[in-house]
Every structure is written in structure tokens, then in C-alpha cells.
Structure 1
Amino acid sequence: MSLHRESLWTGPERRRQLTLLLGDALIVILSTILAVLVRRMLFEGASLTEVQLWPLPSGAYSLLFTFLFALYIFDQYNLARDMSDRTNAAVLFLATFIGMALAAFISFFLRGLQLGRVVVLVQWPLAFIGLYFWRRLFHVYLLRFTRPKRVLLVVDNPVEKGIEAEISERPLGDYEVVGTFMITDLRNKQDDGNWELVDEEGRTLEQVVRDEEVNVLVFSARAGIPPQYLEQAIDWKFDGIGVYDAANFYGAMTGRVPIETIDARWILTYLS
């Protein structure tokens, strides 16, 4: 029952994260170069031709590492909460401060990674400003041009099937409803105890997921789901296909819960 899909490590989510990470790293490097330039020209009186900007001093790499580590923690915090722009900025400010403090702390023990107090203190606000506008540009503008995730609703009665029209009218951001899989039959082709969910057109759920390039499955038909589908849901998660409980998913779409935090805990309840 395995579905050939992009994994979580190579799929669109990871490509987005890698793009964001590369942008963060570039901002940190550029802010470090500018900080070195400020120190040499304003505090040491060197001319522009006398300033050597490349290769970077070894301490710049400790800044890069600590900033990216702190930003990772920031992303995990932000992922689990629905925060305003002002709160996001405050948490980002804290993350960059932690990155700067960690780099300064490391320099006390590894002498070769020292950058100087002026460089560290100048680089911190430059990095914060650059990261703030880069991340705002990325999330507000660049993600608009990405393909939305395709949602398939899995139901087992006509009443629930009518939910599709209501859900389709809601603004879903990166999500779009591609249809409803109405369970009308169970099929056991090989008599091995593994049943397949079949819709009114005779298509299996796996076939619909492949044909429609579905990224998200929302189950509302718990009573009619064979046990192996609950187990398969975990494999689907690792194949890059989100599997959600309908009640939680609808709550996320109405803004009560950040959609990224919804998982398949109800599946684990069925398996326990």
C-alpha cells in the first residue's frame, strides 16, 4: 500500500526550508562583512582599499553556526504558535541575541574564533534587520508563487460529503480542496486481510491520491476505516502526505489552531 511520493527530506516543505536557511546564512555572512568593514574604517581609520573582507575571519563561522542554531529554535517555537507580526519580530530579536551571545561565549574558550566586541555588537542589529525583512519577504511574497497543498476529504456518508462545498469557500492559504473521497465499499483483492477503500467510481484511495497528486488526507470516516489504514497513515506521513483528523483540521482552517501543529494523534489512539 506504499505510495510513491516525495519524502519529507526532499519534498516541497524541505525545499522551502532549505531556501529559507540559505537566505538566513547569506544574511548572517553579509552582516558580518559589514560589521568588519565598520570596525576597520570607523574605529581603526583604515581606508576602503586597506580592508580585507575575504576570506572571513574564523570567528565569523562561529557566528554563522550560532545564529542558524538559534534561528532553528525560533522556527520550532514559531511553528507551534499562532503569533502576530509584532510577537514574531520580538522572538526573532531574541533569537538573534542568543546567537550573538553564544558566539561571544564560544570565543572565551576558543581563542581562534574571536571576532572582537565591536564586530559582534555591530553585526547583531544588522543581522536582525536583514533577517526580519528577508523572512517577511519570503513568507509574505515568495510563498505566494508556490503550488498550494492539495487536500482530499475522506468521508463515509453523504452528509459529510456536503462539507466539501463549505470548506472550498474558506480561504485556506497554502491549501486547496481537490475533492472528496466517498467510501462506498471495501475491497479485498488478495484475500490477505488487507482491505482497500473504494469510492463510487471503483477507485481505491491510493489510486486517487496518486492521480490527484494529493498532499493532505483528512479522515472524517473513522468507523469505516480498516485497521491497516490507520497503520498506513504513519507511513504516509513519512512519504510527505499529511494525515489529519477532520475535526482538528477544520479547527485549523477556521484559525483556532495553527495548521502546522495538527498531527495524527487520533491515529495513535486507535493503534494503542
Structure 2
Amino acid sequence: MRKPLIILLSGDFLLACLSLALGILVRFGTLTGSEASEIGGWQLAFFAAVLLFSGFFVELYSASSDYRKTELTVRVFIGLCLAFLILSASYYIFPSLLIGRGVLLSALVIFGIGQIVWHSASPMLNVVPGFAQKVVILGNGALGKQIEDLIPRERNNFVFAGYIKAAAEGPMGPDKNVVGTMDNIFETVSRIKPNKIIVSLAERRGVLPVKEILKCKLSGIEVIDALNFYERLTGKLLVENINPSWFIFSSGFRVTRFMCFYKRVLDVALSLTGIILASPLMPLIALAVRLDSPGPVFFKQERVGKGEQAFTLIKFRTMRNDAEKNGAVWACKNDPRVTRVGHILRKTRLDEIPQLFNVLRGDMSFVGPRPERPEFVETLKEKIPYYSKRHFVKPGVTGWAQVRYPYGASVEDSLEKLRYDLYYIKNFSVFLDILIIFETIKVVLFGRGAR
């Protein structure tokens, strides 16, 4: 998680604690009375945790959450309503967590007002000395320009301070934003005083000024590769600039036996839970599909799984039975082949319920790259570098690419989703899986990305 988001979360946590204290003060007129003293650490921690979860659910902490005041206010209000419902239900089930209706309402109102002010003012932290981190880019070629363009688009506390020009790269325009050259790197950084140097040289062999960069490193300036910086900011990999040695020497891409064991246990638990919860719905969905259009209830199709082994994917049918009479094609927006019931199933993701049986059988995982068709895989392997690397893990019902990028229907979309898939494989962890599952709940509820 990037530093500004940690600060935003920390601010909201402190704000939740302060709001509860002020709520107690408003309700009882004191923080030390007998009624006030009954509210302890567990109630406070639970109150704060629910508020942070609600903020996450309404996307107040997402990378693209640069909202205007009106939208911010609406999201904060929805988050407070969600928090109120969760807290009310929890207090009914666990009375020991109860903090009282008067205190709760006062604390929520105070927190809502404070959260709007805090989130509106937080971008101004970037102008505070010591908070905003200056970034100098070594190399002013295409990769360097891409990094420069990326910095203001992502939520971060980085400020672009200029390029150190590399003769071999060629200038981006008339030496725009160049603050120094490769001959005087240490002198330049001593003058600019950046926090980081981003190395974005397309070719480093015989060009990289190792001694100068080492002097910068030993003087306390962080030196980071452009590809790693891109990954840190975006949550994806810059596939087209990666070479095989980067895969070999970079951290990550390591799956232990314990990880595989936990993953399988989680898959079985989630798929069984999902099947049990969905069992009352499945006959109704099957009947709706059958009545809406002629053809089978289930749609079965060959997909490519782990190790590029084919398996049969099962879904509820959402298209006409003759949808691919002319061959395999990607689904498109407002696809005329989708039936009326199919449109609803796709929008709500209910068509994917039968995939839980694929997970239970071991063909798929609950979280992983989206399984693709063999016809498309062969084409994409020819056109996209490292595409086959996504098949080192099981495909998933949901995944990092599915929650971060809309439905892909072209080679360009597949390249963008591959960036996210490889990021997931590189950074595979329990925490990331749980994060993806929570993000999936939001995607389903808000109906994003379906076709």
C-alpha cells in the first residue's frame, strides 16, 4: 500500500477514535463518568474497524479516489449508512460491543464531518516540506516520459523534479525539464535534493554511471528501477519493457507448498460455502434461462488452465444457442447475442455460479487470472510477450485483473490485463487474495465491468 493511503487510513482511524470520544462527551458531558467508562478498547476498536471497512467499501481509499466535494460527501454519507447498519446488527448479535444509540449517532455525525474535511485537505500534504518526495528520473527517453506522466495520475506523495539527461536516450522535446546530465549526477542531486532517483535507461550496458549513482545511494537517496517504481504505483507490471533477467532476479514469483496448501483449503471452503448459499437460486436461474430462449441451461466451453492444460468451464448460458455459429469471437459491449435473462445474469455475475464446481473439482482457483479460450490463447501468445506466464497458476473465478480492469475484448485489453495478472503472480499472498475477494464484492454490487 502506498504511503499516502496509509496516512489517509491512519487519519481516519484517529478520527474515529476522536469522534467516539467526542460522542461520549456530547452524550454524557464527561469522559470519566460511570456510563462513559463502560465504553472500552474493544468497543472503540470495533467502531473504528467498521468505519474503515465502510470507507474501503465506498472506495474512499482507492488509487483513483480524487473526488470532487459533492461526490466525496455522497460517498461519505453512504459509508456512514453502511457503518450504521453493520454496527446496529453487530450490537444486536454481540451486546458486549454496544456503545449506546446516543453516543453512536453523535460519533457518526462527527466522524462524517471530519472525514469530509480530512479527505478534502489531504492532497495539500504534498506541499508540506518533508512529506512530498521529490523524484528525479535518470533517462529522458520514452520510458522516462511514461514514468513522468504516471506520477500525477496516481495517488501518491511524489513530485517530479526533472530529468537527468542521457545522451543515448534522445530528448523528449527541446530538453524539457532536464536538470542535469549523466556527467554530473551527484552534483545535480546535491542541488535538487531529491528523495528518489528513478533509473529509466532503456539500455544500461556500458552507459550506467555506476560510481555516480553509488555516491547518491550512499548519501541517503533511494535508487529504484523504473519498472519497480511503475509496479509500486500502479499495481501492475510494465510487460513490454521487461526482459527475462528481470523475472529471474526480481523479488516475488515464489509459491511455496504452504501457499498451495492454504490456497486449496481456501478454494474448497469458499466454493462449498458459495454452492450452499446459491443452491436456492440455481433452480430459479436454470428455469429462467430455459424459458427465455431455446437451448441448454448450462454453457460448457474449453478453457486453458494451469500448465496450459485444457478443462471444461461451466456457466449458466447467457447467449443464444447459435451465438458462435461463425466461430469464436470476443464478447463486446451491448452484444446482440446476449439474451434478456443473460444480460441480467452477466450484470449480476450470477452466470458464474457454476464455476464454483470447477473450483471444487480443482480445475480453477477462487482467485487467479481469468481462464481464456485455446483459440485466443494461441493468438495472444504470438502477439503479447510473456503471455504464457499467466498459466503458471490456476485460473480464477475472480482475480486482480478482473477487479482492476473492465472486461477485455481485444489484444490491447489482454495486454493490459496481463500486466495485472503478472503482478498478482509476482505478489501472491493471503492478504492479496482477501483484498481481491472484498473488491469482487464491490464489483458485483455496483455492476461494473460486465458485458
TM range (shorter): 0.5 to 0.7
Amino acid at match of 2:239: W
Partners of 1:35 and 1:119 within 8 A in 2: yes
1:93 corresponding residue in structure 2: 77
Q: 1:208 to 1:70 in 2, by over 3 A?
A: farther
2:127 corresponding residue in structure 1: 144
Q: 1:94 to 1:269 in 2, by over 3 A?
A: farther
* 1:103 positional shift: 2.1
The structure, 1 or 2, with the larger RCO (C-alpha pairs under 8 Å, 6+ apart) is: 1
Taking the aligned partners of 2:93 and 2:68, their CA distance within structure 1 comes to: 38
Taking the aligned partners of 1:148 and 1:129, their CA distance within structure 2 comes to: 29
Q: 1:210 to 1:53 in 2, by over 3 A?
A: farther
Amino acid at match of 2:112: F
Partners of 1:104 and 1:120 within 8 A in 2: no
The 3-state SS of whatever aligns with 1:201 is helix
Which one of 19, 37, 42 corresponds to residue 31 of structure 1?
19
Taking the aligned partners of 2:25 and 2:164, their CA distance within structure 1 comes to: 59
Partners of 1:243 and 1:264 within 8 A in 2: no
Identity %: 16
* CA deviation vs aligned residue, 1:86-136 (integer Å, no higher than 9, x gap): 222322332333333322222222121012333323322221001211233
Taking the aligned partners of 1:218 and 1:225, their CA distance within structure 2 comes to: 9
Describe how 1:209-224 pairs up with structure 2 within 5 A.
Answer: 213=194, 215=196, 217=198, 219=200, 222=202, 224=203
1:265 corresponding residue in structure 2: 238
RMSD, aligned CA: 4.7
Could you list the runs of 5+ residues in structure 2 that have no partner in the other structure?
170-180, 209-221, 245-385, 387-451
* 1:182 positional shift: 0.8
Greater C-alpha Rg: 2
Q: 1:208 to 1:22 in 2, by over 3 A?
A: same
Partners of 1:217 and 1:244 within 8 A in 2: no
* 1:225 positional shift: 5.8
Partners of 1:80 and 1:260 within 8 A in 2: no
* 1:75 positional shift: 3.8
Give the TM-score normalised by structure 2. 0.36
Matched, 1:103 2:87: yes
Amino acid at match of 1:66: V
Describe how 1:60-209 pairs up with structure 2 within 5 A.
Answer: 60-73=44-57, 74-77=59-62, 79-140=63-124, 142-145=125-128, 146-155=131-140, 174-182=158-166, 184=168, 201=183
Partners of 1:24 and 1:131 within 8 A in 2: yes
Partners of 2:198 and 2:223 within 8 A in 1: no
Q: 1:147 to 1:29 in 2, by over 3 A?
A: closer
Partners of 2:15 and 2:111 within 8 A in 1: yes
